[in-house]
Amino acid sequence: MENNTLNRMDRVDPNLRDEMLAELFLDQMMNNFKKNKILEEIDQSLKNKNKEAFLRLTEELKSVS
């Protein structure tokens, strides 16, 4: 699948391709940042024995992953 996507990317204008790749990269970085932030908050909720926050954050994590 990735190979097929890369083959299609070769046919796209180089400037547009670079813009698309940069956008994909930034989206992935933002998702990683959000996921790590939620994981830190989950750790804190466990330390504080805050069940409500833990449940809310684990649900939020599912939507980011």
Query: With bands split at pLDDT 50, 70 and 90, how would you rate the model's confidence at 29?
Result: very high
* Cβ density class 17-48: b for 16+ within 10 Å, e for less: eeeeeeeeeeeeeeeeeeeeebeebbeebeee
Provide φ and ψ at 16, rounded to 5°.
-65, -40
Q: Where are the domains of the chain?
A: 2-64
On whether the pTM is more than 0.85, the answer is no
Q: What is the pLDDT of residues 46-65, one digit of tens each?
A: 999 999 999 999 999 999 86
Sign of CA dihedral 4, 10, 13, 18: positive
